[in-house]
A and B are shown apart, each in its own frame.
Chain A
Amino acid sequence: QVQLVQSGAEVKKPGASVKVSCKASGYTFTTYGVSWVRQAPGQGLEWLGWISAYNGNTNYAQKVQGRVTMTTDTSTSTAYMELRSLRSDDTAMYYCARAEVATTDLDYWGQGTLVTVSS
């Protein structure tokens, strides 16, 4: 069965970076992409970007463009999302989700990784 398992919770100071991992199993990793979505406490969903696991092409949301880097490691079927220059408003649950291409639905989701930014 398809599973996306994310890395554990992180606490970071303002200005630091965080790198969240998302290990996929149960399907051929390179035939799908991965989107990253975050949810601030008590708030709605916010899309951060998408990466193709086939060729590494990326498409980032304007709000985080320049601070975010999404990568994949096909040898371990793992996707990564790194966010730099963290601010307090980056505190959120970060989800990875499978998406065949950038414009298809997110059919499987990871369990979420809570990133807390606090001094």
Chain B
Amino acid sequence: NFMLTQPHSVSESPGKTITISCTRSSGNIARNYVQWYQQRPGSSPTTLIYEDKKRPSGVPDRFSGSIDSSSNSASLTISGLKTEDEADYYCQSYDSNNHMIFGGGTKLTVL
């Protein structure tokens, strides 16, 4: 099995752009799709990105996903940061047994 490693926390100012990384410990990051979830305090998670880079309807295009095989990582980029973007963000993928694996989560502070 592999692990997905995210930074514990990130912070940036409103209006700026931030990128959250998700590094796969073994195996090619491109082998299995990566999803990103947003969880605001006291709420259930919601899908921001699925299948590496697709956005569900209703998710603003300020949110984008990508993968980079050279660093074996996925990234979530949020542009035009808003205070409402303050939340925990989780990446997620699958192993060879179709078991879902989550990253440890990244707490985003917009200050």
Contacts and interface: CB of A to CB of B under 8 A. Distances in A.
Interface of A: 35, 37, 44-47, 50, 59, 61-62, 95, 97, 102-107, 109-112
B98 interface: yes
A59 B44 contact: no
B8 to A, nearest CB: 10
Given A45-B45, A62-B99, A105 B35 contact: yes
B98 A45 contact: no
Contacts, number: 60
Contacts of A105: 33, 35, 47, 50-51, 92
B105 A103 contact: no
The DSSP consensus for interface residues of chain A is loop
A79 to B, nearest CB: 15
A110 B44 contact: yes
A106 B47 contact: yes
Contacts of A61: 99-100
B42 to A, nearest CB: 10
